Structure 1
């Protein structure tokens, strides 16, 4: 595979993630890996992020006129980024392309192909690049929403399941109750005890292990419809520790933090 030097941009509902992919003229097995990455969370205003941090990163790590490929599920953030790039440093980084579903080399068998999130398609394309031939794949992305998507044995995007992300659930509990506190529930690092000894730790336990249980059940139900055991790929705001909790005797689980960025780079390159 030949990969053009480019910046892939994954615009989600909670943050914008950038990855610089360098040209590689040699044959490459597996996924392209970004040489540099940057993740910027949104401010309290949806779609707004710290452009000063982005300006510093571009100036240090990205050559002017490098192609920038955007995959987005947030229109406000996309508009803000495109405007920033057009104005920053006299437009030196405004070689910008917004990817659409038709840019991804994967058959989409859902009933509404044009409604499938770009991030889901990108992750599926990346999974197809590394799955074993004729083997189905299940792709899990932990973010504002958690998605559990199925790629068929012949390499088509079949569809999947969407449920609230852990952070989203924590915010809903705080907003919809009178006494429950706002709790940050990290999915990285050591898993929490299943028995919380105060309100905050009880919420942490419930949301963390609830997410593990929900995803494990969705994998099992999707697995029931398959002839061969799937390969499972995990990405998003989580860690290898969470990925290990999702494993089972008849399928393997791999944690790939840059799966969506790699899929965007494959679609754009």
Structure 2
């Protein structure tokens, strides 16, 4: 089986594939203070609860935007899986031309999302990923990554509001009953929720104008479902887009059915 790992600034998502089938996924907190052994214990326990074992893993591919985590995960793969993992970055085949001033600056997760979205929809696309930062990425009809925009994530925005405005309470992120709210909690929710929906729709509209195109808009990440229900621009939501992109990139860098064969042991 293939273990795919997507390391974000706030959360790390793991997925276990048999061929093209996603058997199970897990979301854990990204913690750079965890050692190789601590990460191994955590993943071992997640596997055990789902009746999987380390010996089931034939290969591993990692996308990471937190460099200290990458070192720990590479150590985990070598020590516990006896594998050298594939790392999404310079030198790996993605099958997608990167039309960016410096391709090395593009976050691995953005490329992985773009690859998965284009493989699934085969047309021009805007991928909106709701994470610690919210990223907007445009892929041309020819399957070229053209660039995009980065905005503060909703969590960052709300924390800044609570920290800087001493009288405002922390509130649950939720859609309030109306924009013209009648109490403080709903007022904050209205500003956060509808303000963020407006940000998404506004950036998408400007990207479409610049591209002179009508791309499909795909949302992914933790808040994608909530925002999509109120957004006028998001056409589809795929919560597993990044995991699927990792699987696709893995297949482009290995012989067919590698994840079904005996583990590729490190030397």
Is the pair's TM-score, using the shorter chain for normalization, greater than 0.5?
yes
User: What residue in structure 2 maps to residue 27 of structure 1?
Assistant: none
- Equivalent residue number for residue 6 of structure 1: 2
**Aligned-residue offset at 1:85:** 4.2
Cα distance in 2 for partners of 1:201, 1:75 equals 39
- Structure 1 segments (4+ residues) deviating >6 Å: none
Checking the alignment, whether the CA contact within 8 Å between 2:62 and 2:86 is kept in structure 1 is: yes
Asked if the contact 2:129–2:224 (Cα under 8 Å) also holds between the matched residues in 1, the reply is no
Residue 218 of structure 1: aligned partner: 203
The structural deviation recorded for 1:200 is 3.4
Identify the residue that residue 13 of structure 2 maps to in structure 1. Answer: 17
Question: Which residue of 2 is the match for residue 76 of structure 1?
Answer: 68
Which of 1 and 2 has higher RCO (CA within 8 Å, sep 6+)? 2
Q: Within 5 Å, give how 1:63-212 maps onto structure 2.
A: 63-64=54-55, 65-87=57-79, 91-92=80-81, 94-103=83-92, 104-132=94-122, 135-185=123-173, 191-193=175-177, 194-212=179-197
Q: Quick one: distance in 1 between partners of 2:30 and 2:11? A: 5
Change (3 A) 1:85 1:176: farther
| Partner residue, 2:220 | 235
- TM-score normalised by L of structure 1: 0.81
Deviations 1:178-213 (A, max 9, x none): 333333426xxxx32324444333222211211111
1:137/1:233 contact within 8 Å kept = yes
SS in 2 for 1:7: strand
For normalisation by structure 2, the TM-score amounts to: 0.81
CA contact (8 A) 1:70 1:99 kept: yes
Aligned counterpart, 2:52: 61
Q: 1:61 to 1:176 in 2, by over 3 A?
A: same
The question of whether the paired residues in 2 share the 8 Å contact of 1:147 and 1:160 is answered with yes
Q: 1:261 maps to which residue?
A: 243
3-state SS in 1 of match to 2:176: coil
Cα deviation for residue 92 of structure 1 reads 3.2
Cα shift at 1:150: 0.4
Alpha-carbon distance between aligned partners in 1 of 2:21 and 2:187, rounded to the nearest angstrom: 38
Residues 1:197 and 1:42: Cα distance change in structure 2 (over 3 Å)? farther
Q: What is the CA–CA distance in structure 1 between the aligned matches of 2:226 and 2:196, rounded to whole Å?
A: 13
Q: CA RMSD in A?
A: 2.4
> Judging changes above 3 Å, is the alpha-carbon distance between structure 1 residues 93 and 257 closer, same or farther for their aligned structure 2 residues?
farther
How many angstroms apart in 1 are the aligned matches of 2:189 and 2:88? 36
Deviation at 1:86, TM superposition (A): 4.3
1:62-120 per-residue CA deviation (whole Å, 9 max, x = no partner) reads 55242111100011222333334445xxx236442222144222111111210100000
Q: Number of aligned pairs?
A: 243
Q: Distance in 2 between matches of 1:202 and 1:146?
A: 23
Structure 1 residue runs of 5 or longer lacking an equivalent are 24-31
